[in-house]
Amino acid sequence: MIAIYPGSFDPITLGHLDIIERGSRLFEQVIVAVLCNPSKQPLFSVEKRLEQIQISTAHLANIRVDSFSGLTVEYAKLRQATVLLRGLRVLSDFEKELQMAHTNQTLWSGIETVFLATTKEYSFLSSSIVKEIAKFGGPIDHLVPQNVATDICLYYS
């Protein structure tokens, strides 16, 4: 079974990586799919984010990294993926995630959303939190892969 793990990944965090590693043990292939969203102002370009994810997941054999635009379910069909993988950190994630899962179900009945409970130590972690800490010069090495920490340090230096 092929799973898509869609997201903004601006940038990828250790919480994302945890979901990718655990997903890679559950599915034949996991496609980490970066959404190109022209209405958002990202910190890193799509190309940079793809590179960051590629480096961070190089130790995993069944991971593919790609970008897409438009509807996630249309991209899933294109890749013959039948699972959407998402992480759930805290209760407040649930409302948005359930709405997304239900929306995707109405768009294509061939898709199943599978939620993995985020590992406890990353339950507070998000890309926005990382950017917030980095902006004020705080430590982020324990929150993102090493290559991403280097990129962020370069950005804010």
Minimum distance from CB of 130 to ligand PNS (Å)? Answer: 13
Rg (CA), the chain: 15
Restricted to residues 80-139, the positions that interact with ligand PNS (CB under 6 A) are 100, 103-104
Residue from 6, 15, 23, 145 that binds ligand PNS (CB under 6 A)?
6
Minimum distance from CB of 16 to ligand PNS (Å)? Answer: 8
Contact in structure between 52 and 11 (CB atoms under 8 Å):
yes
Residues annotated catalytic, as ranges: 16, 40, 89, 127
Nearer to ligand PNS, 7 or 139 (CB): 7
Task: With contacts defined by CB under 6 A, name the span among 6-14, 20-28, 53-61, 143-151 that binds ligand PNS.
Answer: 6-14
- Nearest Cα neighbor of 23 from 85, 88, 111 is 85
d(CA 78, CA 84): 13
Minimum distance from CB of 156 to ligand PNS (Å)? Answer: 22
One-character DSSP codes across 93-142: HHHHHHHHHHHHHHH-TT-EEEEEEPPGGGTT--HHHHHHHHHTT---TT
Restricted to residues 61-80, the positions that interact with ligand PNS (CB under 6 A) are 71-72
Restricted to residues 26-55, the positions that interact with ligand PNS (CB under 6 A) are 35
73-105: burial string, b at 16+ Cβ within 10 Å, e else: bebbeebebbbbbbbebeeebeeebeeebeebe
Nearer to ligand PNS, 6 or 145 (CB): 6
Nearer to ligand PNS, 71 or 78 (CB): 71
Give contact residues for ligand PNS (rule: CB under 6 A).
6-8, 35, 71-72, 100, 103-104
